[in-house]
Amino acid sequence: MANGWTPERRARQAALIRTWRPWEQSTGPRTPEGKAKTASNGDKGGQWKVVRAEVRELGRTVRALLREQRELLGRL
């Protein structure tokens, strides 16, 4: 293989990892800051980032319009 991992080496490493079982010792993030940071691990931005920004802006617009309507209804 080009990266130096032969099938035998891969099999040996897989067997070693199965004996170590590192996934059983993982605790994940514990602090609120760590949890917030890992919550965005899968976020790559791109198209969905634009869509989320547009949805947020639309939400702001709708809230402003509702606030305005409530004020106008309160004057009647």
Residue 9 lies in a domain: no
Residue 30 lies in a domain: no
Tell me what percent of the chain is helix, strand and coil, each rounded to the nearest 5: 70, 0, 30
Q: Which domain holds residue 53?
A: 45-76
Per-residue pLDDT tens over the stretch 20-34: 999 999 899 999 999
- Position 1 scores a pLDDT of 55
Q: Which two tokens stand for residue 56?
A: 């947020």
Residue 54 lies in a domain: yes
Residue 75 lies in a domain: yes
Q: How many domains does the chain fold into?
A: 1
Residue 59 lies in a domain: yes
Output DSSP code: residue 37: H
- What is the C-alpha to C-alpha distance for residues 23 and 16, in angstroms, rounded to an integer? 13
- Position 67 scores a pLDDT of 95
Q: What is this structure's pTM?
A: 0.39
Place of tokens 């609120």: 32
Residue 64 lies in a domain: yes
Residue 72 lies in a domain: yes
Residue 70 lies in a domain: yes
pLDDT band at 59 (very low <50, low <70, confident <90, very high): very high
First to last CA, the chain: 79
Contact status, residue 38 vs residue 29, Cβ threshold 8 Å? yes
